[in-house]
Amino acid sequence: MAGRRPKAAASGEGRTARPSERHCVLVTGFEPFGGEDVNPSWEICKALPAAIGRSSIERLLVPTAFGRAVETVSGAIRRLDPALVILLGQAGGRSAVCVERVAINVDDARIADNAGAQPIDEAIAPSGPAAYFATVPVKAMVAAMREAGVPAEVSNTAGTFVCNHLLYGVLHFLATGARRSRAGFIHVPWLDRQALARPGEPSMALATMARGVEAAIAAALKAPIDVKMAAGKLD
């Protein structure tokens, strides 16, 4: 399933790219939140290679804050105009790396963000559609991660916190600006060290998650059209 094609974002760290460089990939990760001292999404960003195939990797650290997260990434998109935008976020409690299929137009925060905001039942874009589908090949990305030996699955909910807010906000920015970049979101589990304080909770090694994200990006760059495979849920 595909929505309209969005546009990509600029990076906070690493090589400085020129706006005309269409072969860069923007990969974003969040700062720690919820009392954590680390966020695996940003650790994965730092662990990625400088390039995947012929595409350079641009990294951007995103504030875990409603509004500011979208502003940060959309500002980067204006500067870089990358071919691909891959947003990463932490989903503690999940046992696999999850490629999100859809973002919904609602903020409903169970906890406050890092700026102290806690929107409840608020639209992200009051005039926007109810939802956007990611414009990356989600199933091809999942298949590539599994081929690389990384547990992966398609997810049909990005939650209602800042991760969903960012995915929806970026897709809305790209769609309404008639930009060409494709964008998607990958949720990752706890790091092993985070799970030490949570007996029984699933976790994954940083090297494994980074390998999976690298494989997913490579697949997204190769496959403008998604593969057809069963990846639905019964519940």
- Name the active-site residue from 45, 163, 172, 214: 163
pLDDT of residue 22: 52
Confirm whether 24 is a catalytic residue: no
pLDDT of residue 17: 38
Cα separation of the two ends of the chain? 20
The answer to whether residue 2 scores a pLDDT higher than 80 is no
The share of the chain scoring above pLDDT 70, in percent, equals 91
Confirm whether 172 is a catalytic residue: no
pTM of the model: 0.89
Confirm whether 31 is a catalytic residue: no
Q: How far apart (Å, rounded) are the C-alpha atoms in residues 198 and 193? A: 10
Q: How far apart (Å, rounded) are the C-alpha atoms in residues 33 and 166? A: 15
- Name the active-site residue from 58, 100, 153, 214: 100
Q: How far apart (Å, rounded) are the C-alpha atoms in residues 235 and 99? A: 17
The answer to whether residue 235 scores a pLDDT higher than 60 is yes
Under 8 Å CB-to-CB from 167, ≥6 apart: which residues? 87, 100, 103, 132, 134, 158, 183, 184, 185
pLDDT digits (tens, 9 = 90+) for 30-69: 999 999 999 999 999 999 999 999 999 999 999 999 999 9
pLDDT of residue 225: 87
Q: Hey, where are the domains in the chain?
A: 24-222
In a 13 Å sphere around the CA of 28, the CA atoms on its Cβ side amount to 33
Give the orientation angle of helix 138-147 with respect to helix 206-222, to 10 degrees: 130
| Topology (CATH) of 24-222 | Aminopeptidase (3.40.630)
